[in-house]
Amino acid sequence: MNATALIAEDEPRLADSLRADLAIAWPALRVLAQAGSGTAAVAQALLHRPQVCFLDIRMPGLTGLQAAQAIAEDWPGDAGPLPLFVFVTAYDQYALQAFDAAAADYLLKPVTPERLARSVARLQARLAQPGAGDATLATLRQLLLDQATPPPRLRHLQAAMGDTVELVPVDELLYLEAADKYVRAVTAGRDYWVRQPLRELAPQLDPARFWQIHRATIVNVDAVARAQRQDNGTVLLQLRQRPETLTVSRLHAARFKAQ
């Protein structure tokens, strides 16, 4: 079976070794690119659009799991099915998490020829099935739900305004958007800047009201007037009190469907 792949591994020697082993186990597989970090893996995957991504779990920038989420979020609608993710780890304790997140497989380092051969057979079988990308989407979506923890809920955000700190009631928030090390917290009347990563704020919000619609955006569902599905699998949201339109990625679009 002809197929294409990306290898993401921050140790060049291990990346070259996996590539050489794949050439033996799967001669028809064409490796389109190698990446040395999670961030580079996302960029290379979106550029080359491989059918399979071999992602080391521990990488600089983004972990393999985070890179898989980012690829799924930004995968172009005209690029066909999402790639199958194979997570590679040297640590037994990550194996179960990797397997739960992957739509395809995981590999423990050092990768043996026998184990790689079984993985190749599994990948080939998955690629032969229609809707393989849908399974990837479902498992990544479940991973996000499984990782959610219920810490104490926030009632106010602390936003720096010059030399003062304003307390912004969470009930007034329409949506939150990641911007580097800050979060842009949007209300009907104004924007606030909170110096805290969105991934730290998200678990402190009520998941029944605040829905993740992209890895960089959370919306207060009470602020949504209507949702319009697009041909590429995304959804556009119109808000009640703001003119801008928010885009829901394919990873989260299933939350907005007619009952």
Q: Say yes or no: 143 and 160 in one domain.
A: no
SS (H, E, C) the chain: CCEEEEEECCCHHHHHHHHHHHHHHCCCEEEEEEECCHHHHHHHHHHHCCCEEEEECCCCCCCHHHHHHHHHHHCCCCCCCCCEEEEEECCHHHHHHHHHHCCCEEEECCCCHHHHHHHHHHHHHHHCCCCHHHHHHHHHHHHHHHHCCCCCCCCEEEEEECCEEEEEEHHHEEEEEEECCEEEEEECCCEEEECCCHHHHHHHCCCCCEEEEECCEEEEHHHEEEEEECCCCCEEEEECCCCCEEEECCCCHHHCCCC
Q: Say yes or no: 12 and 49 in one domain.
A: yes
The closest of 88, 46, 45 to 65, measured between CA atoms, is 88
Q: Print the domain residue range for 126.
A: 3-147
pLDDT on residue 150: 55
pLDDT by residue, tens only, the chain of 259 residues: 689 999 999 999 999 999 999 999 999 999 999 999 999 999 999 999 999 999 998 898 888 888 988 898 888 878 888 899 998 887 665 555 555 544 467 888 888 999 999 999 999 998 988 766 666 666 666 655 555 455 678 899 999 887 888 999 999 999 999 987 899 999 999 999 998 888 888 888 998 999 999 989 999 999 999 999 988 888 999 999 999 999 999 888 888 876 5
pLDDT on residue 97: 55
Q: Say yes or no: 165 and 69 in one domain.
A: no
Number of domains in the chain: 2
Q: Which of 126, 147, 168 is the last residue of a domain?
A: 147
pLDDT on residue 131: 66
Q: Which of 147, 170, 201 is the last residue of a domain?
A: 147
pLDDT on residue 160: 81
Q: Say yes or no: 11 and 107 in one domain.
A: yes
Q: Which of 112, 147, 182 is the last residue of a domain?
A: 147
CA distance 207 to 218: 10
Q: What CATH code is carried by the domain that includes residue 130?
A: 3.40.50.2300
pLDDT on residue 103: 46
pLDDT tens column, 182-199: 999 999 999 999 988 888
Q: Say yes or no: 25 and 143 in one domain.
A: yes
